[in-house]
Amino acid sequence: MSALDDLAGERVVSETAQEVADAVATWIAAQSRRAYGDHGSFSIALSGGSTPRMLNELLAGPEWQGRIDWSWWNVYFADERACPPDDPASNYHLAQTTLLSRVPIDPSRVHRMPAERADLDAAAAEYSDLLASSLPAARGGAPRLDVILLGLGENGHTASLFPGTPALEVVDRWATRGLADYEPFDRITLTFPTINAAAAVGFMVTGASKNQALVATARGEVPASRVRPTDGTLAWFLDAAAAAG
């Protein structure tokens, strides 16, 4: 019996991180077709990190770029760090340089979190309103994204929902101010109601250093354990090192 048997959702285990990226690309393409067939567009919230970088470069490369209809895409973000959009630490900067600038996505359909603003509470409230005004409402009233891509921190955080922080308990807003335990500390993040209203949530988790966080997630001990789509699907895309044991 595996320590991950209690992990909610589907598990897709690949041998390498590159194979994880390919599996996620295949999944995103299928989700985009499903969404377009259902309501004529596709909305996705992107995350930062090393595995998303690999995924972005794969999607923008010759193998995948022509297999996706980018005119369907509306791009949002799961979280953002309090830095300018051209800062290498910015999740938007990562997405822009590795994917968005390399594929034919209408820039007006890319909705970045303005986390460089001095008043992060106001910026988060503005993004919350944007989500509500530009996306359909799920059954519980939260804006419904077609896909949210998430990572997993070694302490079990996801997006910028860190252990022991006020953002974990926000239920009446769709984006809120987050607080990390490493620099840059200030963040904007989607809230659990927004994440759990999505049609599909996909975690990308690679490397042996994430194994204990996965086990803690399966046990219900960390913030990532609270990702449980209420009317959607959840998938974990893992490499062999993360899923070991």
4 lies in a domain?
no
Share the mean pLDDT of the chain.
96
Whole-number pLDDT of residue 245? 62
HSE (CB half, 13 Å, CA atoms) of 79?
30
Whole-number pLDDT of residue 226? 98
Split at pLDDT 50, 70, 90, the class of 5 is confident
- What is the tens place of the pLDDT at every residue in 197-209? 999 999 999 999 9
194 lies in a domain?
yes
2 lies in a domain?
no
- What is the tens place of the pLDDT at every residue in 180-233? 999 999 999 999 999 999 999 999 999 999 999 999 999 999 999 999 999 999
Separation CA 52–CA 72 (nearest Å): 20
136 lies in a domain?
yes
Q: Does pLDDT of 115 surpass 70?
A: yes
Q: Tokens 């995924």 appear where?
A: 55
Q: Does pLDDT of 148 surpass 70?
A: yes
- The residue range of the domain holding 194 is 10-243
* Sheet bearing 175-179, strands edge to edge: 79-81, 186-190, 175-179
Coil, helix or strand for 158?
strand
Split at pLDDT 50, 70, 90, the class of 51 is confident
Q: How many domains does the chain have?
A: 1
Split at pLDDT 50, 70, 90, the class of 50 is confident
All residues at 6 or more sequence positions from 74 whose CB lies less than 8 Å from its CB, including other chains = 41, 42, 43, 44, 109, 111, 134
Split at pLDDT 50, 70, 90, the class of 3 is confident
Whole-number pLDDT of residue 145? 98
3 lies in a domain?
no
Residue 124's CATH number:
3.40.50.1360
Whole-number pLDDT of residue 1? 63
90 lies in a domain?
yes
Separation CA 25–CA 19 (nearest Å): 10
5 lies in a domain?
no
225 lies in a domain?
yes
